[in-house]
Structure 1
Amino acid sequence: MSAETPAAAPGQFTRRRLQFRAWRGARPFWAGLFVMLGGFPIMYFPYAHLQIGHLTVAMATTAGAGSLIIGVLLIVLGISLWFQKHVRVFAGVAAILLALVSIPVSNFGGFVIGFLLSMVGGAMGIAWTPGPGAKAEESGRYGVPAPRGAEPVDAPMDLSGTSPANEVNGRHSAG
């Protein structure tokens, strides 16, 4: 092998992994995952029958339906954080509120596990902001490429003191 030998084309696995990495980076992926993982213990523990030796422990509460609804809503909010990133603030606030409601309704929020995961995921969803790569993804939406040479919306300001309002016939006027 020499230095001039071309590199091998990436395989199917590498290409898919890089595609997933790009998809994950353009949305609040970890926030959605934490919210979904928080919904499972909240939904599961009220219906679980734990076996300790010959002793069966039932965690059933009178609010079993409430726990099921809270858990399903948290899972739906986690999925919406993944696929509808523009509703991230609403989904984050709703996840935090549902996590707080799960404390009295669902065995202390799924034995605090679901509560903590949902709180952290909701806070991450609220705090997430699109990175620089997300702007390029949005500009090519619906298969329409962005115009060549188009200036981004949040372009840096010119702080040199000259602006079109201060220019008169190519001369700079004071103030």
Structure 2
Amino acid sequence: MLLSRRQGRQRTGRWRRWRRQRPFWGGLFAVLAGAWICVLPLAPLKVMLQQGVAGIPSVLMGVVMIVLGLTAWFSPPQRNLAGVLTTLIATAALVLSNLGGFLIGTLLGIVGGGLMFAWQPHTTARRGTGSAGSPTAPTGSAPESAPSPPTPHHDPQGAHQS
């Protein structure tokens, strides 16, 4: 009994760590939007607003949105491109795909793309910065302004290196 509870806690902990290390909710909304836009043209004709030429772009846009959502999950450094493309495709689906899946797919795609683009990885603050002996602290003169805190996220381009 104790072993199964411990395993359950470990699985829950691993799931939480995995989910927090990537734009999970943005990817989930993008996958749901893609599935909604993709499946809607396959519905019966009574439900469809328009059949024919709108069916092919709908399925393609839905598949691409699902792939972009999965890209945000499994390759978080690509989240900015995936977020922008998801938002653009969701907006294009409004015109090309039965009002973007009756507006539901478009709204989910825009929200998901925005969440993917806005997500930043969380890193812990560095200890020991800003002390009196640090090279950034001026000596012998009054400081004009407080030194800026270190960036709270990883900077892949290296713009904030000291």
TM interval, shorter chain, is: 0.7 to 0.9
Report deviation, 1:64: 1.1
Q: 2:12 aligns with which of 13, 17, 23?
A: 17
The residue identity in structure 2 corresponding to 1:132 is T
- Tell me the distance in 2 between the aligned counterparts of 1:79 and 1:65: 22
- 8 Å CA contact 2:131–2:137 kept in 1: the answer is no
One-letter code of the match for 2:18? W
- Counterpart among 104, 121, 140 of residue 112 in structure 2: 121
Structure whose residues are more often strand by fraction: 1
| Deviation digits for residues 92-125 of structure 1 (CA, Å, limit 9, x no counterpart) | 0000000010011100000001000010000001
Which of 35, 42, 52 is equivalent to 1:40? Answer: 35
CA offsets per residue over residues 108-151 of structure 1, 9 Å max, x none? Answer: 00000100001000000111010126xxxxxxxxxxxxxxxxxx
- Alpha carbons 1:46, 1:61 under 8 Å: kept: no
Who is 1:98 aligned against? 89
State the Cα distance separating 1:45 from its structure 2 match. 1.2
Pairwise CA RMSD of aligned residues? 2.6
Tell me by how many angstroms 1:158 deviates.
2.0
Query: Compared with structure 1, are the counterparts of its residues 98 and 164 closer, same or farther at alpha carbon in structure 2 (3 Å cutoff)?
Result: closer
Match of 1:86 in 2: 77
Question: Would you say the 8 A contact 2:34–2:66 is kept in 1?
Answer: yes
Name the residue aligned to 1:77. Answer: 68
Partner of 2:130: 158
Residue aligned with 1:11, SS: helix
- Matching residue's letter, 1:88: R
Q: Name stretches of at least 5 consecutive residues in structure 2 with no aligned partner.
A: 143-162
Q: Greater Rg, structure 1 or structure 2? A: 1
Match for residue 31 of structure 1? 26
**By how many angstroms is 1:174 displaced?**
5.0
> 1:12 deviation in Å?
2.2
The DSSP-based 3-state class of the residue aligned with 2:120 is coil
Show the counterpart of 1:138. Answer: none
Count of aligned pairs: 139
The structure-2 alpha-carbon separation of the partners of 1:158 and 1:109, relative to structure 1 and needing over 3 Å to count, comes to same
Going from structure 1 to structure 2, the CA distance change for 1:15 and 1:98 (only over 3 Å counts) comes to same
Kept in 1, the 8 Å contact 2:30–2:113? The answer is yes
